[in-house]
Amino acid sequence: MLTRDAPSPFPYPAGFGTSWRRLGVAGRAAQTLGIEWADSFKQGLDDLAATAQALATSRNPAAILAVQSAYLQRTAERWAARSVLTADRIATLTTELLRAPSAPSPSRAH
C-alpha cells in the first residue's frame, strides 16, 4: 500500500496528479470515518441491549429512572466524543485537500 509521501510507481497523466492525490486523501478520510462510526454504532447497540436488560429487571420507578438516566448520559458522552473525532478528521481532510501540490520531480515525466 502506498503512503501519502511515497511516489507513485506509475506516472499520473498530465494535469491529474493533484486530482488523484486529493481523491486518495478523501478516500482514506472516508474510510477512517466509516470505521469509527461503525464502531461507535456497535457500541451504542451493545449499550442499548444492556440497558434493555437492566430495564427488564428493574422493579420500581426509581430504578427505571436511574437506568434511563445512566443510558442517556453514556449516549451523550459517546455522541460528544464522536463529534469531536469527526470534526478533527474533517479539519485534517480539509487541510490536506487545500495543501498546495508539490512540484513534480524531474525524474517523472508528465
The whole-number pLDDT of residue 59 equals: 92
Q: What is the pLDDT of residues 68-93, one digit of tens each?
A: 999 999 999 999 999 998 898 888 88
Q: Is residue 104 part of a domain?
A: no
Question: Into how many domains does the chain fold?
Answer: 1
Is the pLDDT score of 101 beyond 70?
no
The whole-number pLDDT of residue 99 equals: 74
Q: What is the pLDDT of residues 26-69, one digit of tens each?
A: 888 888 888 988 999 999 999 999 999 999 999 999 999 999 99
pTM: 0.62
Note down the domain range covering 40.
19-98
Q: Is residue 4 part of a domain?
A: no
- The DSSP secondary structure of 14-38, one letter per residue, reads TT-HHHHHHHHHHHHHHHHHHHHHH
Q: Is residue 62 part of a domain?
A: yes
